């Protein structure tokens, strides 16, 4: 069992928790993830490591309440326990040789992008950050990004905070003005990452995207997180849990990934409704 040391509500749908897991806290690096189960009968879900405190033995996770399992997790309080917390899994974000990086986070994807930006900042790289949200009420981690970025642009779709528009607007302005990056790292909804890639393509800037598809075991055996990559004119299959979660954005078949992501939409909706009803009745069927 793993104790919830702290819980903080970041916005109406996003929650931050610090979980006591000293072995994971000691080993985890930016870009890696964990797989947890809320209870012994629960499903496994992957969540990116949003930060660690090795001295306290804690691992920070940030999640959006969108399905049955995240609803159960969000119902937990500080001082309570979850059943399983396994990691670190996946490959850390590559940082070698990168002196100037543009880190782009969309929505709850900022929880993944922020520790990546922090790591580059610690290594002395110039960090230009862009974050995007639907509206002002959903903005998260602004102070954290500001602390580790040489410049930060906050975008909202409706213009209620920061600049109006999506994250590709300032990115395109920077690239067209001649600003050079060794790497662009985009983390967020698949459609956002797809358009970041297309915005960067004419300028030839390398783009890394973080893929978080359906995962079950996190070791490459189940095949649930397979991705189709277009590499050197060939279609190949790799697995987000062991080969990623970071991939060359130019190689990803985003349309296939988005299609696969909708496969269990009806099932997820039904489970979410059932869980919501159980939580309202105190767990009684």
Is residue 32 located within the same domain as residue 78?
A: yes
Is residue 183 located within the same domain as residue 202?
A: yes
Say if 216 falls within a structural domain: yes
* Spatial contact of 85 and 2, defined as CB atoms under 8 Å apart: yes
Is residue 202 located within the same domain as residue 151?
A: yes
Q: Which of 31 and 128 is assigned the larger pLDDT?
A: 128
pLDDT of residue 242: 87
Query: Is the peptide bond between 245 and the residue preceding it cis, with omega within 30 degrees of 0?
Result: yes
Q: Which of 63, 89, 115 is the last residue of a domain?
A: 89
Q: Which of 65, 89, 113 is the last residue of a domain?
A: 89
* Spatial contact of 64 and 70, defined as CB atoms under 8 Å apart: yes
Q: What's the token pair of residue 54?
A: 């090795």
Is residue 123 located within the same domain as residue 247?
A: yes
The whole-number average pLDDT for the span 122-136 is: 96
Residue keyed to tokens 């326990």? 81
At 47, which CATH number? 2.40.30.10
Is residue 122 located within the same domain as residue 207?
A: yes
pLDDT digits (tens, 9 = 90+) for 99-109: 999 999 999 89
Q: Which of 89, 117, 147 is the last residue of a domain?
A: 89
At 153, which CATH number? 3.40.50.80
pLDDT band at 262 (very low <50, low <70, confident <90, very high): low
Cβ contacts of residue 139 below 8 Å, gap of 6+? 11, 131, 133, 154, 156, 161, 162
Predicted structure pTM score: 0.84
The boundaries of the domain holding residue 222 are: 100-261
Is residue 175 located within the same domain as residue 253?
A: yes
Alpha-carbon radius of gyration of the chain: 19
pLDDT of residue 285: 44
pLDDT band at 42 (very low <50, low <70, confident <90, very high): confident
Is residue 64 located within the same domain as residue 110?
A: no
Say if 274 falls within a structural domain: no
Is residue 74 located within the same domain as residue 121?
A: no
pLDDT band at 274 (very low <50, low <70, confident <90, very high): low
pLDDT band at 136 (very low <50, low <70, confident <90, very high): very high
Is residue 200 located within the same domain as residue 166?
A: yes
In what side-by-side order are the strands of the sheet with 126-133?
163-164, 151-156, 126-133, 100-106, 183-187, 207-210, 246-248
Is residue 8 located within the same domain as residue 84?
A: yes
- Count how many domains the chain has: 2
Say if 268 falls within a structural domain: no
Is residue 74 located within the same domain as residue 186?
A: no
Query: Is the peptide bond between 183 and the residue preceding it cis, with omega within 30 degrees of 0?
Result: no
* Spatial contact of 25 and 57, defined as CB atoms under 8 Å apart: yes
pLDDT digits (tens, 9 = 90+) for 187-244: 999 999 999 999 999 999 999 999 876 677 677 777 777 888 999 889 988 888 888 8
């Amino acid at each position: 069992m793993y104790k919830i040391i702290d819980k903080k509500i970041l916005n109406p749908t996003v929650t931050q928790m610090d979980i006591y897991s000293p072995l994971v806290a000691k080993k985890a690096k930016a870009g890696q993830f964990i797989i947890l189960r809320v209870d012994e009968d629960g499903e496994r879900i992957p969540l990116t490591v949003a930060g660690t405190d090795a001295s306290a033995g804690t691992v920070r996770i940030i999640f959006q309440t969108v399905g049955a399992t995240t609803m159960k997790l969000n119902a937990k309080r500080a001082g309570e326990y979850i059943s399983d917390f396994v990691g670190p899994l996946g490959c850390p974000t590559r940082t070698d040789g990168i002196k100037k990086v543009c880190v782009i986070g969309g929505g709850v994807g900022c929880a993944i992008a922020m520790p990546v930006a922090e790591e580059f900042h610690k290594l002395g790289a110039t960090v230009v950050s862009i974050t995007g949200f639907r509206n002002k009420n959903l903005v998260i981690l602004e102070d954290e990004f500001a602390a580790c970025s040489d410049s930060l642009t906050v975008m909202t779709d409706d213009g209620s905070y920061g600049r109006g528009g999506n994250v590709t607007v300032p990115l395109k302005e920077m690239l067209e003005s001649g600003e050079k990056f060794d790497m662009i790292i985009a983390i967020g909804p698949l459609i956002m990452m797809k358009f970041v890639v297309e915005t960067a393509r004419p300028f030839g800037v390398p783009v890394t995207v973080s893929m978080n598809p359906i995962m079950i075991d996190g070791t490459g055996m189940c095949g649930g997180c397979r991705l189709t990559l277009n590499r050197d004119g060939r279609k190949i299959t790799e697995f987000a849990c062991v080969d990623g979660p970071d991939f060359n954005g130019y190689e990803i078949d985003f349309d296939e990934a988005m299609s696969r992501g909708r496969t269990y939409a009806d099932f997820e909706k039904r489970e979410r409704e059932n869980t919501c009803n159980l939580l309202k009745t105190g767990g009684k069927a």
